Structure formats: C-alpha cells, structure tokens
Amino acid sequence: MILKEFEYLQYKREDANNYIKPETFEALEKFVLDNEETALYLKITTKKGYGKILQAQNYVGVIQTRDGTTIEILPKIYNASEEEAKKILLRMLKTLKNSPFKNFNMAHLKNAKIPLLEIFITMFLDELSKLIKKGIKSDYITKEENLRFLKGKLLIGQQIKKNTIHQERFFVEYQEYLSDRVENRLIKTTLEYLYKKSKSNRNQQRIREFLFIFDGISPCKDIKLGFSKVKLDRQMKDYEKVLLWCKTFLLENSFSPYKGNDVAFALLFDMNLLFESYIGHYFKMNCTNVTLQDKTHHLAYCEGNGAFQLRPDIVIDDGKIIADTKWKLLSEDKIHQGISQSDVYQLYAYGTKYHSCKSMYLIYPYSGQNISNLYHYFREGEIGYKKDEQWYEKGNLELYIVFADVTQERLKFITFNDKNYTQNVLKIPCEKNKDRNI
C-alpha cells in the first residue's frame, strides 16, 4: 500500500484503496500512541463517513506490521507521480550523512514500482556482493573449551572447577584464525532477518546464495553489543558501507527513533531533515565557502557562556548570505502565503547575529502556484552592530522567499515577481563566477 504525505488510512470501507484491516489499524494506532512524544509519524484524527483515521505526516519511508502489511509513505511533491516521488526520495536519501544510501546507482533502478523495502534490500545485497568479491576477512578468535588435549593456555581456575574428577581433560584458552568474527556475524544476522522480510523472489534467491557463503559463521545474539565490538580499521575499511546497512536494518531506529513492538519493521525519515540535507548538499557541490548547520553564534549569553545556539541550515561567504529550508507547501490562499511568523523571527535572529549578513533566503518546495510579494526587508537603520564603541548600520537586511523544484535532477530555484516566473534567482559566490546565478 502506498500513501503520500497527509493522505490517510481507514478501516471502514473495504472497497477503497486506503483500506486496512481493523487489527492492522489498531496495531498502527498503538505504534503512534507509543511515539507521540518523540515523533508524529501518523496522526490519529477523524473524517466524516470514516470515523477514526490515521493521517500521514512529514515522515516518509516504510512501515511493516506483524501481519505482513507493508505501507510506503512517499513525499508529496507537486506534479510528481508515485514512481517519480519514489525516485526523488531516493535522490534525497543519497545526500544523508552517515547513511548507506550514498553509493546507490540510480541507473540500477529500472522499475520504480518495486516496493521501497525491496529497493533498500537490493542496495544492501549489491554492496555485500562487492565485499564478497574482495574477500571476507578472518581474525584470531579467542576460544575457551574443555578438551582432551592441551592446547594454548591452561586456565587453572576453570581446570580445578571443571576437571577435578576428569583429570584427562584440559580447560584451555586458545586462538584460531576464523571468519566467525563479529562483523561477519552481524552480516549473517542481517541476511537471516531480511530473508523473512523480503517478498521478492530475486532478493530471496540472492540472500540464500549469500547465506551459503556465510554458512560457517554464527549469528549475532546481542545486536547492540555486536556493533559496539566492530573494529573498522584500515584492514576492515571495505566493511564500512555494508555494516552501515546492517545497522539500518537491525537497529531500525537509526534515522527515526521509535519505541514499541506493534510493528515488525519501520524505516522512516523526517522530510524536513531530508529536504535540508538535499538543498545543503546542492550548495556544497556548486558553491564555495559554504557551511552547513553553522554553530558560530548563540542567541543570548549568560556570564560569558552562550545560550540558545543558532544553527542556520546554510551559511555562505562567512555569513554574507544565509539560507534556511522549510519543507512546507506555500499557497496564495493562506495568511502570508503560509510563511509562519516563527520562521521570519528565526531568520531575523540569524541576520542580526551574523554582522556581515546582507541577504537571507527561505527555501520552500515548489508548490505549483504563482506566489507573488515574496521579497521582504527589515527597515534600514534598524539593524546594526557595535564595534570599538562605534555603531555601524547595516542598511537593508533582505529576505527572499524562494522555491526549489525538486522534480529536476539538477535543482532549479524559482521565485515570482508580479506573478512572473523566474528561475535560478540565488546570487551566491561560486568557483567560476562570484556573481553567477544558480
């Protein structure tokens, strides 16, 4: 089942596309209630003719219930089909830091109708295939056993305890060079886990082939303890990407922490963070002197210590330009087109603390509407700073509202001037031309 942001699930009308069984609805409802303090993945509300419904929010990804129902939640993107929305989501995921999605080749996605979970499993198996071609690593594994012959080091305490009567035995500690190390155990555990989750014949076949290769390796009994013992030194560098996938599947809360046992599997991403990552990555790749999530300034200070740290999404040219991203669709029908007062306050704080700031941008996803009157400024002389007992006025501090068209493989930025459509409106310092528009 596929939903987009803000679409809903119901259990009253079996003939509708958004129908789920009452027991599945109940499990998801419990999942929502258990996590309402940390994240609102789905919203419990009511709708005329349906009664209680579960409405998708700003989280996208996959939820699989214990009865096998798989629900995909895709981003709501103007003029994008389900297949296109899925491709855009995967493009955004590739920009996430410390994630396993970076190396996914979009050209391999021949059919976007493949369920998201199966796409993620395919990514993992492709990465594991590269590792196996390079060779699975072995290590010296310490073992303790009660043997009929002396091998390694005799453990006196255990020998007295275990072999007072059986003096023909030796309780020893020794090392063997084996592939049954913790990193391989985590990979095998992931393969066994995904074999139960996957419904793709192709993926199941590949998992069986890989399990045959890992046949002599035992599964990991304590997942968290296993990851704490992982050693990614120079010798184990090839394992890094595969183990990122293992962590994603085995510790499902890597990207969106949740609790409860009412769902079998959930891998969910906050669209606000994804959009921020996607736009930030674009600026990093195309511009010079860009800092993401800058931590230079605080809103206030107490006894010389900073309080309420400011963290603008994008700082360009040492603060001359500041941009913040908001995953929200603006509309002419809303007050101030849907721009919230708190967002403007936030940018005002950035502009006053970064003394060199002249221009600020609020970047929203393109909503398909021609929204005008999106240039704002704070009055000349209202903004300034004191240096060497002298007051310096900064002049106009400009705030532009800009839209990012994420349907394009190369991002396009759009604004409207008297309802005229204008592309590539951000003047920022770039390598080839300091005033080039992007």
Beta strands 290-292; 2-4: pairing state:
unpaired
The DSSP call for residue 219 is P
**pLDDT tens-digit map of 357-379:** 888 889 999 887 766 656 666 65
325-355 burial code (b ≥16 CB/10 A, e <16):
bbbbbbeeeeeebbbeeebbebbbebbbbbb
Report whether 260 contacts 35 (CB < 8 A). yes
Encoded tokens for 174: 């020794």
Q: How far from 375 is each of 64, 226, 276, 407, 436, CA to CA, in Å?
A: 44, 54, 22, 24, 20
What is the per-residue pLDDT for 97? Answer: 85
Q: How far from 156 is each of 166, 168, 207, 243, CA to CA, in Å?
A: 14, 14, 44, 38
| % of the chain with per-residue pLDDT over 70 | 83
What is the per-residue pLDDT for 110? Answer: 62
**pLDDT tens-digit map of 394-415:** 566 788 888 899 988 888 887 7
CA 130 to chain CA mean position, Å: 24
46 pLDDT higher than 90: yes
What is the per-residue pLDDT for 337? Answer: 74
Encoded tokens for 403: 């839209």
329 pLDDT higher than 70: yes
Mean of the per-residue pLDDT values of the chain: 82
Higher pLDDT among residues 303 and 45, named by residue: 45
10 pLDDT higher than 80: yes
| % of the chain with per-residue pLDDT over 90 | 29
What is the per-residue pLDDT for 432? Answer: 40
Report whether 159 contacts 140 (CB < 8 A). no
- What average pLDDT score do residues 236-242 get? 89
What residues does each domain of the chain span?
A: 1-81+255-270, 139-178, 287-423
394-432 burial code (b ≥16 CB/10 A, e <16):
beebbbbbbbbbbbeeebebbbbeeeeeeeebbebbbee
pTM here?
Answer: 0.81
What is the per-residue pLDDT for 266? Answer: 85
Encoded tokens for 9: 């699930």
Alpha-carbon span 187 to 193, nearest angstrom: 10
